[in-house]
């Protein structure tokens, strides 16, 4: 079945349900059940916190080596330097043209056409390959062990990229994903953020509403559905979700945040200092069949990988 993400909402929902319940996800759950990973202590903690709260915070060095972090941080720094040089020269300040909304995502407001550049995406034009250490990390059995155990199935890595958000000043409006929303990609979803710089209140920290995914107490407030309206009105959201329960993730560079972003979240509203993060999206096969286009294509180069990694990348 071809992807139907650009079809009318009712067709998208029907196709997603077919893949979730019959065609794609049952096989993925069977593969997981036949190959349950053996997790170590930190991995088990992350899975337990995801189950309980919908998110988990962990130091990169608690899951991977300090040497790998040094290598990745140095690589990320190259892009940060490049994009900041372009910003200084005015090369990255071209006005944006509004794009039509995707299923479950409203069209960008007209005023966004007057806004200048507000986020850089490193691999938007130069896709990742398996030689890249960031893609190797995202497809590693250590990462997949956490994500697959939490979701109870073999998952697909659907997105991997480094983001850069320059400061916009305290008077700027929140745009796009800076507003409260649910990711439309999937209901079986884990997003992983790797902070590449120290993030405080002025750096656009990631924010999340615990209990807004799966069967949590806020899951039925503008509930997730394929091609649904995932950006609720801001004033109504503030009335229905108490600010006291919102979790704001200020943290140093080298922090990893695992999160089920079918729950409400927002981030990137950098007012004082630039923010740079690496982002991974993991989804179920149903989403990849109906709702999601990857930003990379490894082709046959994944053939020599372990089966669970090959499944995640193809």
Place of tokens 């990857």: 294
Q: How far apart are CA 76 and CA 194, in angstroms?
A: 11
Confidence at residue 174, expressed as pLDDT on a 0 to 100 scale: 87
Place of tokens 């983001």: 163
Place of tokens 């062990």: 145
Q: How far apart are CA 88 and CA 188, in angstroms?
A: 40
Q: How far apart are CA 213 and CA 254, in angstroms?
A: 26
Confidence at residue 145, expressed as pLDDT on a 0 to 100 scale: 98
Residues 228 and 220: beta-carbon distance below 8 Å: no
Half-sphere exposure of 94 (CA within 13 A, CB side): 7
Confidence at residue 168, expressed as pLDDT on a 0 to 100 scale: 83
Confidence at residue 90, expressed as pLDDT on a 0 to 100 scale: 77
Confidence at residue 134, expressed as pLDDT on a 0 to 100 scale: 96
Q: How many helices (H) and strands (E) does the chain have?
A: 10, 9
Confidence at residue 104, expressed as pLDDT on a 0 to 100 scale: 45
pLDDT tens digits for range 45-98:
999 999 999 999 999 999 999 999 999 999 999 999 999 999 888 766 543 434
Confidence at residue 118, expressed as pLDDT on a 0 to 100 scale: 62
Residues of the chain with pLDDT under 50: 1-2, 94-100, 103-104, 106-117
Write out the H or E segment, with its range, that includes residue 163. Answer: strand 156-165
Confidence at residue 66, expressed as pLDDT on a 0 to 100 scale: 95
Write out the H or E segment, with its range, that includes residue 206. Answer: strand 206-208
Specify the 3-state DSSP secondary structure of 96. Answer: coil
pLDDT tens digits for range 11-56:
889 999 999 999 999 999 999 999 999 999 999 999 999 999 999 9
Domains of the chain: which residue ranges? 9-313
The class that CATH gives domain 9-313 is mainly beta
Distance (Å) of CA 264 to CA 54, 92, 306: 10, 30, 34
Specify the 3-state DSSP secondary structure of 26. Answer: helix
Confidence at residue 301, expressed as pLDDT on a 0 to 100 scale: 86
């Amino acid at each position: 079945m071809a992807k139907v993400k650009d079809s009318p909402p009712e067709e998208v929902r029907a196709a997603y349900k077919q893949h979730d319940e019959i065609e794609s996800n049952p096989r993925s759950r069977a593969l997981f059940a036949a190959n349950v990973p053996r997790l170590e202590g930190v991995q088990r903690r992350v899975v337990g916190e995801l189950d309980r709260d919908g998110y988990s915070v962990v130091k990169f060095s608690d899951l991977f080596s300090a040497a790998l972090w040094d290598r990745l941080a140095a690589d990320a720094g190259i892009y940060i330097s490049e994009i900041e040089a372009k910003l200084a020269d005015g090369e990255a300040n071209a006005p944006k043209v509004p794009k039509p909304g995707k299923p479950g995502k409203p069209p960008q407001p007209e005023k966004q056409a007057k806004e200048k550049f507000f986020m850089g995406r490193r691999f938007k034009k130069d896709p990742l390959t398996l030689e890249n250490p960031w893609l190797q990390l995202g497809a590693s059995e250590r990462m997949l062990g956490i994500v697959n155990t939490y979701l109870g199935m073999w998952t697909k890595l659907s997105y991997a990229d480094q983001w850069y958000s320059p400061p916009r000043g305290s008077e700027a409006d929140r745009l796009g994903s800076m507003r409260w929303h649910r990711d439309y990609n999937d209901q079986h979803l884990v997003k992983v953020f790797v902070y590449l710089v120290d993030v405080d209140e002025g750096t656009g920290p990631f924010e999340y509403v615990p209990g807004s995914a799966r069967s949590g107490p806020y899951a039925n407030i503008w509930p997730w559905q394929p091609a649904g309206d995932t950006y609720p009105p801001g004033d109504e959201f503030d009335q229905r979700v108490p600010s006291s329960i919102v979790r704001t993730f200020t943290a140093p560079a080298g922090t990893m945040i695992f999160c089920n972003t079918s729950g409400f979240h927002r981030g990137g509203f950098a007012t004082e200092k630039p923010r740079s993060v690496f982002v991974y999206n993991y989804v179920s096969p149903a989403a990849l069949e109906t709702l999601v286009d990857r930003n990379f294509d490894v082709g046959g180069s994944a053939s020599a990988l372990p089966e669970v990694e090959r499944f995640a990348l193809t």
